Amino acid sequence: MLELEFTTEDLALSRLAISPLWETIASLRVLSDTDGHDGHTLHGPWLTAVRHRLARARLDLRPVTELLTPKIAAFVAPAPLTSAPDIRLELAALRAHPVERIHADLDTLGLPRYPDPAAAVDRVVTTIEAYWELAVAPYWPRIRAVLEADVRHRAQLLSTGGSRRLFADLDPGLSWEDGRLGVRLRSNRTGTFELGGRGLVLGPSAFAWPRVWLLATPPWQPLLRYPARGTATIWESRPAAPSDALTRVVGRPKARLLTLLREPATTTQLAALAGLTVGGASQHLTALRDAGLLRTTRLGRSILYARTETAEALVAGR
């Protein structure tokens, strides 16, 4: 077991944060895990839908997947600078990483250095952006809701029971004793690691399950990812019948379409499910998009519709 040693300053600087960039990278690792060790049981519905979508898009993921074997390159999944950054902010920070840090990460993984770092990093960022749009963004509202609920839960534990209670509840692979956090990693790494007054970022993750991930490579702020509470509920099926309250707000056809959008779908698919003409479904979907309730992603010649966070809340009755 590896022990993280905390000073008073480390405890003062420790914080909770979620990261869409990390979820993107971690989900790609799950997708690439052909042995089925990481998350296949939990994320089965997502895997089925996303594999089909990526196959249609013919997206070359190698610029990123080569950075995930077997460890994850630190520069593609560092500690977020804020508690809940936007994916665009994180990707902008990735583009701005100093070349020497990127090459140091590649050296650690035993990968060759980039002959043209600017072009290579651009390929990495462009690939992550395309993958995010197809595989993570359509589901981000429901993923983010689970992660934010976990952060609220942890903050409550910290306020009522201090660090001991917070760390005791995070994961069975963690233990807190005498100012040290024991972390049981799959690599069976042992010893003591001093945080050195930099604090520790705790990040709940939907795609970390069933593992705890530790990033402790200088100069990055130490980062611990752990499985978020409620991750299994992300892919639960929800009733197809719209609520009366939602129907009164947006009308029956639009409420029906919103409720049917448990998974991203095209206009033709939704029209068939809702019993509407393609033209009628298109008009309703356009109105919902213009109202900020739907987002769109292009997949070849098709347009995929997915609910926004506002729409997720409306459908769930929150």
pLDDT of residue 64: 96
Q: Residues 3, 191: contact at Cβ < 8 Å?
A: yes
Distance CA 66, CA 215 (A): 18
How far apart are the two ends of the chain, measured CA to CA in Å? 42
CB proximity list for 132: less than 8 A, separation 6 or greater = 20, 24, 87
Q: Kindly report the number of other CB atoms within 10 A of residue 242's CB atom.
A: 22
Domain boundaries along the sequence of the chain: 2-233, 244-316
Specify whether the CB–CB gap between 16 and 151 falls below 8 A. yes
Instruction: List pLDDT tens digits, range 159-210.
Output: 888 888 888 888 888 888 888 899 988 777 788 888 989 999 999 999 988 8
The domain 244-316 having CATH identifier 1.10.10.10: the answer here is yes
Which residues partner with 53 through β-bridges? none
Q: For residue range 69-90, list pLDDT tens digits in order.
A: 778 999 999 888 888 889 999 9
pLDDT of residue 118: 95
Per-residue pLDDT of 298-315, as tens digits, reads 877 778 899 998 888 888
DSSP 3-state of 220? coil
